[in-house]
Amino acid sequence: MLLTPFTAISAIDGRYSDKTDILRPLCSEYGLFYFRVLIEIRWLQALAAHSGIQEISKFSPTTQQQLNDIIKNFSLEDAERIKFLEKTTRHDIKAVEYFLKERMAKLSFFPIFLTKHHIKKHRNNYRKISLIICFLLQPKHES
């Protein structure tokens, strides 16, 4: 069914969608997957940067850039790939792990992933910060 003001789940994505479009990248399924990917990659980078963790050696600048590019270039197609993997895994966070393993296959390390609890906690914090920034950057309308 085509999304129209009459077929929308709520007025937020229906009649008020022109005012809430800025929230789609943050609050949609796409946004959910983006923040999960972001958190997993930042976790790996933090582990690799920590001198007390011997299991992962420090990342080269090239590897750091490759990881940052996964975040920077995250696309709708990437979110769709994660959703496809979720049909197999029957678990959304496991699907993100599989997606990252596919993307990191060219890198020479095995990723250590976070638990569901850690991801939800940090994802929600990133979302809150992003929503606040979006709100603050909105043009002010005069009455």
Share of the chain above pLDDT 90, in %: 19
Asked whether the predicted pLDDT for residue 133 surpasses 80, the reply is: no
More confident residue, 127 or 108: 127
In whole angstroms, give the CA distance from residue 57 to residue 74. Answer: 25
Confidence band, pLDDT 50/70/90 cuts, at residue 109: low
More confident residue, 70 or 111: 70
In whole angstroms, give the CA distance from residue 92 to residue 85. Answer: 8
Count of alpha carbons within 13 angstroms of residue 7, beta-carbon side = 4
Tell me which of 6-15, 37-46, 64-73, 118-127 is least confident: 118-127
